[in-house]
């Protein structure tokens, strides 16, 4: 079985739950996550899944698109907004469809697996995914509340920070986060454990934190309702930097672009503290940009485009601001 996952806390904790369940049920597992700059729809990644020789692919927290994903039977579990009329061609698709803001893929995965596999002692993994995607709002979720009573909320938050660091690192060492979760008996093992994966996670977090502190000092350029920050970093920190700036620029849409993450591409994240449909705002500016733009959530989206496309996006943001000023 190939377990395919998004390299953030939600995807990685979902993958850990799936690994525990599959092994308990007697299956062999091959975890796979896209390399830096890839996604599950890229030809290179599909070739790796085929080469794994798995009879089934379980795909966790990677979004969804119409059409066939892999050439093997596939199950998708995902909490992002999906169009029921344009569902992927898979054997099973578990989705909230509307992009339920009160759940995560890890919670969906736990709910699916709990009746058939002994994952109850690992319920804290589902809590990590909830906290990673929803932040402190997730404290009200029963899985988070129960995990906090057992393990302490501080330990959960620190584990989220460590797992996220792997996927955000310049090396995109995502596999080490999954290895650390599979080694851990409790969340605190990530912060204090002496296993090789846990030690590596802590080193990666220091690197990512230093890069984030450097990047967050970049000043935004304001164009009407948009605030744009450009980075040139090999770390996937454009999302956290955008989130941090929304607290300073309440009411504006913050776009953080990173020209240094992968060669020849601009990765950007869009966030806002205000209740704005960011996917709609971005799609209005780049209506024909394709599926790599304006995916994700209404309040957390972004894109991956060629530099020329991003430059055009900037021109359209400036044009929208000029029209607003003239009105």
Residue with the larger pLDDT of the pair 326 and 38: 38
Residue-wise pLDDT for 170-220, tens only, equals 999 999 999 999 999 999 999 999 999 999 999 999 999 999 999 999 999
* Most confident stretch, 68-72, 96-100, 135-139, 186-190: 186-190
Q: Which of 88-102, 138-152, 302-316 has the lowest mean pLDDT?
A: 88-102
What number is the average pLDDT over the span 228-235? 98
Secondary structure (H, E, C), the chain: CEEEECCCHHHHHHHHHHHHHHHHCCCCCEEECCCCCCCCCCHHHHHHHHHCCCCCEEEECCCCCCECCCCCCEEEEECCECCHHHCECCCEEEECCECCCCCCHHHHHHHHHCCCCCCHHHHHHHHHHHHHHHHHHHHHCHHHHHHHHHHCHHHHHHHHHHHHHHHHCCCCCHHHHHHHHHHCCCCHHHHHCCCHHHHHHHHHHHHHHHHHHHHCCCCCEEECCEEEEEECCCCCCHHHHHHHHHHHCCCCEEEEEECCCCCCCEEEEEEECCCCCHHHHHHHHCCCCCCCECCCECCEEEEEECHHHHHHHHHHHHHHHHHHHHC
pLDDT the model gives residue 327:
66
pLDDT band at 291 (very low <50, low <70, confident <90, very high): confident
Question: What local confidence, expressed as pLDDT, does residue 216 receive?
Answer: 96
pLDDT of residue 98: 72
- Reported confidence tier of residue 155, pLDDT bands at 50, 70, 90: very high
């Amino acid at each position: 079985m190939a377990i395919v996952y998004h390299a953030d806390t939600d995807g990685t904790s979902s993958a850990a739950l799936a690994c525990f369940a599959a092994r308990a049920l007697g299956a062999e597992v091959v975890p796979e996550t896209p390399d830096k700059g890839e996604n599950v729809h890229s030809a290179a990644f599909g070739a790796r899944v085929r080469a794994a020789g798995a009879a089934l692919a379980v795909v966790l927290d990677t979004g969804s698109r119409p059409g066939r994903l892999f050439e093997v039977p596939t199950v998708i579990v995902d909490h992002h907004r999906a169009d029921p009329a344009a569902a992927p061609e898979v054997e099973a698709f578990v989705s909230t469809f509307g992009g339920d803001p009160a759940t995560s893929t890890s919670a969906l995965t736990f709910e699916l697996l709990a009746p058939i596999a002994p994952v109850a002692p690992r319920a804290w993994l589902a809590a990590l995914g909830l906290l990673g995607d929803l932040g402190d709002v997730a404290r009200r979720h029963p899985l988070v509340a129960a995990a906090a009573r057992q393990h302490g909320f501080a330990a959960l938050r620190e584990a989220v920070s460590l797992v996220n660091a792997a996927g955000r690192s310049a090396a995109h060492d995502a596999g080490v986060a999954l290895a650390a979760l599979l080694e851990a008996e409790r969340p605190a093992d990530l912060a204090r454990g002496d296993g090789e994966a846990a030690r590596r996670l802590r080193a990666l977090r220091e690197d990512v934190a230093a890069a984030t502190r450097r990047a967050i000092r970049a000043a935004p350029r304001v164009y009407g309702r948009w605030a744009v920050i450009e980075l040139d970093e090999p770390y996937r920190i454009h999302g956290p930097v955008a989130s941090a700036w929304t607290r300073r620029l309440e009411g504006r849409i913050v776009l953080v672009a990173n020209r240094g993450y992968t060669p020849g591409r601009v990765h950007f994240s869009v966030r806002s503290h205000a209740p704005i449909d960011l996917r709609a705002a971005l799609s209005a500016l780049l209506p024909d940009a394709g599926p790599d733009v304006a995916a994700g959530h209404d309040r957390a989206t972004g894109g991956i485009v060629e530099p020329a496309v991003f430059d055009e996006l900037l021109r359209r943001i400036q044009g929208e601001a000029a029209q607003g000023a003239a009105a």
